[in-house]
């Protein structure tokens, strides 16, 4: 990108950063994107998933490839003091979604300038609610993937130096779910425990037994997590309560392992409660959009990302990364069509771009913006060329 366009893409990112909006509230962000698309004379469809956008560049015919950026911010108070700090108290782009949007808009500018060279159609998806609400599911339901045969997305990473691309074939991000259990007993005085049915005793046994699911039932080479993160039985020091609530999260890198964890968590809690004369229910919030499948990269699309990025920036600028237990709702797209998710580094110690996502101190090295935009554009254009060659 020429210096003028680099400054433009930085200004886009800064305007979004100053006005962070939470899941399905991305009204101003969506409006800004649509204004930029209109200036570039790029056709788009709006709304999808309430605030989402589906734009189109190219011939209007097959093949179709999609690029996706998420738009939502987090309920975090920004603690980075700089000229473009969040103006919305308690809200912050602490995960880089402002960067993702700016890079995709930058890619749109590149692709529009090369529209006569495109051997098909590039679909640009600006998606709400990645952080909370499974915006990807809503986008898919509203037709985001119509005609699309492959999709790519990028996420900034503080673990990689600025501009370095990282990805891997196969499982990259874990499937994620949450659970809340209620164990019910019989209330009684703590001085006479024999006259009660103690749900704390039952719940404590259940929590301990849950740790055995991964350590004794899962293949050690198949990474999984079950973590209990809260336990609530009230605060009366002289009474055995009639109920205890506890819950937490589960993670796995395959759907088979994930749903086996769901099955075993419920069995362990219900049966442990029964041992102690209590009853139990377990809620996995299946209707509340809190279950994310694993993000599994398509082998061929991963190789495409690797080849394009190394051709653009050199082999030393690409790294094979390890899977992580974090989750991303881009995985919903990967369940429908072949998909590839990759990282682009923003780590720059001199600038202080070293903090992890979801930190109030999170910031980015803006030098990544033109690199990300060019990578996006090249991945899409060369994918189309490969399909017709």
Give the residue numbers of the binding site for Mn(2+): 95, 97, 131, 155, 358
User: 291 near 284, Cβ under 8 Å?
Assistant: yes
DSSP annotation of 213: I
- Between CA 243 and CA 247, with CA 245 as vertex, the angle to 5 degrees is 160
Tell me how far apart the alpha carbons of residues 74 and 83 are, in angstroms, rounded to a whole number: 20
Tell me how far apart the alpha carbons of residues 71 and 88 are, in angstroms, rounded to a whole number: 15
User: 169 near 321, Cβ under 8 Å?
Assistant: no
User: 186 near 197, Cβ under 8 Å?
Assistant: yes
Cα–Cα distance list, 125 to 48, 169, 211, 236, 301 (Å): 9, 23, 40, 52, 18
Q: State the pairing for strand pair 170-173/188-189.
A: unpaired
Would you list which residues are annotated within the binding site?
A: 95, 97, 131, 155, 358
DSSP annotation of 46: E
Structure tokens at 153: 């997305």
């Amino acid at each position: 990108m020429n210096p003028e366009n680099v400054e433009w893409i930085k200004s886009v990112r800064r305007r979004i950063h100053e006005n962070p909006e939470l899941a399905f509230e991305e009204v101003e962000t969506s409006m800004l994107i649509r204004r930029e698309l209109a200036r570039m004379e790029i056709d788009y469809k709006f709304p999808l998933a309430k605030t989402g956008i589906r734009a189109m560049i190219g011939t209007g015919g097959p093949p179709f490839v999609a690029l996706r950026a998420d738009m939502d911010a987090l309920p975090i108070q920004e603690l980075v003091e700089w000229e473009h700090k969040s103006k919305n108290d308690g809200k912050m782009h602490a995960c880089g979604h402002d960067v993702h949007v700016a890079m995709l808009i930058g890619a749109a500018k590149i692709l529009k300038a090369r529209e006569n060279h495109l051997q098909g159609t590039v679909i640009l998806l600006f998606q709400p609610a990645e952080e909370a609400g499974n915006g990807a599911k809503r986008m898919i339901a509203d037709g985001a993937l119509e005609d699309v045969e492959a999709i790519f997305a990028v996420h900034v990473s503080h673990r990689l130096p600025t501009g370095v691309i990282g990805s891997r074939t196969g499982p990259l991000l874990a499937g994620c779910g949450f659970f809340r259990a209620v164990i019910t007993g019989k209330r009684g005085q703590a001085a006479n425990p024999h006259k009660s049915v103690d749900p704390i005793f039952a719940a404590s046994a259940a929590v301990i037994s849950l740790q055995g699911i991964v350590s004794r039932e899962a293949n050690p080479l198949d990474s999984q997590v079950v973590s209990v993160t809260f336990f609530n039985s009230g605060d009366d020091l002289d009474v055995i309560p009639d109920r205890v609530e506890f819950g937490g999260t589960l993670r796995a890198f395959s759907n088979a392992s994930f749903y086996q964890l769901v099955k075993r968590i419920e069995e362990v809690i219900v049966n442990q409660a029964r041992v102690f004369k209590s009853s139990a229910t377990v809620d996995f919030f299946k209707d509340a959009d809190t279950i994310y499948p694993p993000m599994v990269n398509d082998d061929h699309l991963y190789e495409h990302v690797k080849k394009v990025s190394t051709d653009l920036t050199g082999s030393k600028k690409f790294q094979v990364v390890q899977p992580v237990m974090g989750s991303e709702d881009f995985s919903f797209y990967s369940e429908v069509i072949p998909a590839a998710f990759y990282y682009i580094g923003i780590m720059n110690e001199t600038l202080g771009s070293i903090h992890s996502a979801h930190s109030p101190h999170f910031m980015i090295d803006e030098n990544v913006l033109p690199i990300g935009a060019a990578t996006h554009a090249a991945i899409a254009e060369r994918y189309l060329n490969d399909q017709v060659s």
